[in-house]
Structure 1
Amino acid sequence: MEELIVKLRLTAAENPDVTVLKEQVWKLPVVLYDVKISRVKRLKMDILMKMLLFAFQERDIRRAATLADMLFVEELFISDSIDKMERTRLIGLDKKGYALTAKGHDYLEKGIFEEEMEPEAAQIVYSAVHDDYDLPKDSETPEAEESLEPYRYAVKGAVKKERIQKLLSDRPPESDEQGFQIITTDITSCIEHSVAHVPCIEFQLYDRKQDIFYARVWNTASASWDEKLEKAIEAREVMGWRRAMEKQAN
Structure 2
Amino acid sequence: MELQQLERQIQKQLPRPNGVEIVKTKQFSIPIQTILAKYTPIRRIPMDILMKMMLLTFQTGRFQDVEMVADVLLVEALFIEDLLQKMKKTGLVTVEETIQLTEKGRSQLAAGIFEEQLEEMEQELYYSPLHEAFLQGELAEFDEFPDELSHEKMAVWTDEQIVAASSNDDDDETFITSINSAEELQIHDVPCFQYVLHDTNKNTFDIRVFNTFTNAWDVQLEQLIKASEQNDKN
**TM-score between the two structures when normalised by the length of structure 1:** 0.78
Identity rate of aligned residues, in percent? 30
Structure 1, unaligned runs of 5 or more: 175-180, 244-250
Pick from 157, 161, 164 the counterpart of residue 163 of structure 1: 161
Which residue of structure 2 lines up, in the alignment, with residue 201 of structure 1?
193
Partner deviation per Cα, 1:168-225 (whole Å, 9 max, x = no partner)? 2243218xxxxxx443343211111111111101112333332322211111122221
Distance 1:9 1:154 in 2: 29
Distance 1:135 1:238 in 2: 29
2:41 is paired with a residue whose SS is strand
**Contact 1:45/1:113, CA 8 A, preserved across alignment:** yes
Which residue of structure 1 lines up, in the alignment, with residue 175 of structure 2?
183
**Contact 1:25/1:200, CA 8 A, preserved across alignment:** yes
Which residue of structure 2 lines up, in the alignment, with residue 73 of structure 1?
75
Which residue of structure 1 lines up, in the alignment, with residue 110 of structure 2?
109
Q: How does 1:135-154 map to 2 (within 5 A)?
A: 135=136, 137=138, 141-143=139-141, 147-153=145-151
Distance 1:6 1:136 in 2: 21
Distance 2:63 2:165 in 1: 44
**Contact 2:31/2:188, CA 8 A, preserved across alignment:** yes
**Contact 2:133/2:161, CA 8 A, preserved across alignment:** no
Change (3 A) 1:164 1:142: same
User: 1:119: Cα distance to partner?
Assistant: 1.0
Distance 1:8 1:187 in 2: 38
CA RMSD, aligned part only? Answer: 2.9
1:166 is paired with a residue whose SS is helix
Pick from 28, 31, 35 the counterpart of residue 29 of structure 1: 31
Change (3 A) 1:12 1:116: closer
Distance 1:11 1:84 in 2: 57
User: Is 1:215 the counterpart of 2:213 in the alignment?
Assistant: no
**Contact 1:123/1:136, CA 8 A, preserved across alignment:** no
Distance 2:136 2:162 in 1: 10
Distance 1:7 1:86 in 2: 60
Partner deviation per Cα, 1:111-168 (whole Å, 9 max, x = no partner)? 332332221121111111112213554xxx4345555110123521212111111222
Give, as a single letter, the amino acid of the residue that structure 1 aligns with 2:182: C
Which residue of structure 2 lines up, in the alignment, with residue 54 of structure 1?
56
**How many residue pairs are counted as aligned between the two chains?**
232
1:51 is paired with a residue whose SS is helix
Flag the structure with larger Rg: 1
Change (3 A) 1:47 1:13: closer
Which residue of structure 2 lines up, in the alignment, with residue 99 of structure 1?
100
User: 1:238: Cα distance to partner?
Assistant: 4.9
Q: 57-66 vs 72-81, which deviates more?
A: 72-81
Distance 2:103 2:82 in 1: 21
Distance 1:13 1:121 in 2: 40
Change (3 A) 1:215 1:154: farther
